[in-house]
Amino acid sequence: MARLQRIAPLGIPQHIIQRGNNRQACFACDQDMAFYASLLYEYSKKFSVSLHAWVFMTNHVHLLASPQATGGISNMMQSVGRRYVRYFNREYRRSGTLWEGRFKSNLVQSVQVSIAVSKIYRAESSQGLHGY
């Protein structure tokens, strides 16, 4: 059975979460986070996604982003994931999956919720790499 298409209205922010498989680390050092951030920047531009805020924790990622083109977030996350996993596996001499399935996303339907999500990012930022 084919996967259901995600609902991603253009211009509406989404809270995106991607977790490491079995809650394992997906970032071992600041260099890993910096490489992931560079991929996010590259592919957000390529697929027309506005990236509003982000937090990288040792074993998961939070993003606040709005698609500006159909399929933008899915294409961005797929491209970032593919390149990052190749990098991580090569860097740490491992193989196999890094992520716990597909990323999760929820629509953010109000300015108040966007602000609340950004505050969560700031609260978590003391433990990981963040941007907003």
Enumerate the domain spans of the chain: 14-131
What pLDDT shows up at residue 89?
96
Closest CA to 5 of 114, 109, 105: 105
Homologous superfamily, domain 14-131: Transposase IS200-like (3.30.70.1290)
Helices (H), the chain: 30-46, 72-91, 111-124
pLDDT value at position 129?
Answer: 47
Query: Residue type for 82, please?
Result: R
pLDDT at 10 (0 to 100): 74
- What is the model's pLDDT at position 130? 46
More confident residue, 124 or 55: 55
pTM: 0.80
Query: Token pair 């339907």 is at which residue?
Result: 109
Q: What is the pLDDT of residue 126?
A: 45
d(CA 14, CA 95) in angstroms, rounded, equals 31
C-alpha torsion angle, residues 29, 33, 35, 37 (rounded to 10): -170
48: left (phi over 0), alpha (psi -120 to 50) or beta: left
74 vs 126: which has the higher pLDDT: 74
User: Residue 110 pLDDT more than 80?
Assistant: no
Please write the tens of the pLDDT for every residue from 33-54: 999 999 999 999 999 999 988 8
Amino acid at 113: V
Report percent pLDDT > 90 for the chain: 54
* Identity of the residue numbered 68: Q
Which pLDDT band, with edges at 50, 70 and 90, does 79 fall under? very high
Query: In this prediction, what percent of the chain has a pLDDT beyond 70?
Result: 75
